[in-house]
Amino acid sequence: MSHDTIAINQRMDKFDGHHSVWLFGYGSLIYKADFPFIERRPASIANWTRRFWQGSHDHRGTEAAPGRVVTLVHAAGAVCDGMAYLITPQVFAHLDHREKNGYLRLATDITFDDATTTEGLVYIATADNAAFLGPASEYDIAVHIAASHGPSGPNRDYLMELAQALRAMGKDDPHVFAIEAFLGSL
């Protein structure tokens, strides 16, 4: 699959006719909401874990030297913490462009911190997209991130802002925090 997923996402009709939809963010969407939203709430999704396994050709790296950003990987029993935004379908055009580098809109159950749930959507870059870099050790990911820079700035900033946002929410993510620790020693 191409890493430009705009056209694929525009065909997703699961939420057609809805006046509003909950969007789950687990990476830069936690700390960089550059779109209008009606409400924002801490939330989580089950059976997924956050991993720096996706290449970024358009934000934190270049076509020749992609950076590393997060995606979700299925993991039975895991819980991924993040931020949910109540948005209108008009925001999809902006989000589809922002997340065009291999991410697909998928329906998911979202659990809020008060234990209530709803169906919403999440953007996930699956292993079959052209920008997927796949697993590596946290140390190797840190080395990669340290050397990467793109139109949205240094890849390092993405990692550091994500780690800071997770701490501010009181959430633990051993993968993110291990990469952050290695990056600090480089």
Q: Is 99 annotated in the active site?
A: yes
DSSP 21-47: EEEEE-SHHHH---S--SEEEEEEEEE
Kindly list the distances between the CA atom of residue 139 and the CA atoms of 14, 15, 52, 142, 179, in Å, as whole numbers in the listed order.
39, 40, 12, 5, 6
Catalytic residue among 39, 99, 161, 180: 99
CB 2 within 8 A of CB 9: no
Supply the DSSP symbol for 61: S
Active site residue ranges:
99
